[in-house]
Structure 1
Amino acid sequence: MTPQLPYATLRQIFARFAGIEPEPKSELEHVNAFTLLVAVALSAQATDVGVNKATRRLFQIADTPEKMLALGEDGLIEHIRTIGLYRNKARNVIKLSRLLIETFGGEVPSSRAALMTLPGVGRKTANVVLNMWFHHPAQAVDTHIFRVGNRTGICPGRDETAVERAIEDNVPVEYQAHAHHWLILHGRYICTARKPRCGICPIRDWCLYEEKTA
């Protein structure tokens, strides 16, 4: 496994990320905490572009748990059938909408434990909502972050939980709030899976990846 880069190097790397994009944003479209939660839940094994295409109209008519329940599972399916696993996801969104009303007064809770009681919401989804909406320094590790973390030495780990812990333990605290987004965007557009674009990588000089491309 790639060794962990030293703290001083991580400070330089994240200072570079911050200089390029001081306020990185998620590419998932949403209008409030509820639509963010739904969008993230729908994005599992799907692209942000595909989710956005499906939810633009949906969130115009169902941007609260109450409106989502009124739309119903069949109505929701009509909006999201282009997304993978849409039937199961529709079932979970309706169930979580009902639970939000019955247990949380219609509000999205701001704790990981509470979020993870909702159908279809795992640790990764909960961390995204905590980070983006409630501004907690939670680290949602997806395939991009797992790849970048292990390939570069920024946050190596044998599984997603280990990578999450590596970010929390090693990334300077002032960069924790945006670390998740910087790493996702870097993995999505620069440090890609098959042909990483090392020639234009802003952190090439610090990266431990031995098979750098030209």
Structure 2
Amino acid sequence: MTTISNRLQDILATIESARTANSPGQPVQLVAVSKAQPASAIRESYQAGQRVFGENYLQEALEKQAQLTDLNIEWHFIGPIQSNKTQPISQHFSWVHSVDRLKIAQRLNESRPQALPPLQVCIQVNVSNEESKSGVLPDDLAALAAEINQLPKLKLRGLMAIPAPTQDINRQIAQFKQLRQCYDALLAKGFSLDTLSMGMSDDYPAAIAQGATLVRIGSALFGARPAKAQG
């Protein structure tokens, strides 16, 4: 039977192969997307060497965090953010990938505890221009980035996207390339960034080819996802 440990090693090998072929000097980090997975699956992958985990649903994440306090996990929040959930997100996560508007950034900043280091954030960009998708449009990105840079308890690290799913490798590459172009445009304007959060189980090699530094992988690591939890 294929175990989480086996799948983790296979994914890390694929990441390294894609990184070496495309960006040999740039590290690529795996964020294990553990939404809807039990705490036991997180513990198993931790024992296999994984340390960074991404969660989409706040209440579910908080329950698992309470069960795993003995593990030195770096928690990333990667799901849509409702205004009424910014306080617990800012208190219980090290990273937030899905900031897409100033109001959310301001609320995260206001509720980040003074004793904690700045919250590491990525701006979510709607590269597919889908009305159903969260994310700032590329034309509005620079203005939002400038506003976030003024918030003292946040540290803007880069950009994130969830492109429209497709099995067409050329379409995958085109969408990731668009996010990379947004990233490069911000660098050209003087923003200090180092993170491109893009690529999931079905397309992460294409994302790495376009410069991803964080890939968010769930089903390829944990297997088929159980019934979706909310919170």
TM-score by length of 1: 0.27
More strand by share: 2
More helix by share: 1
TM-score by length of 2: 0.26
Larger radius of gyration: 1
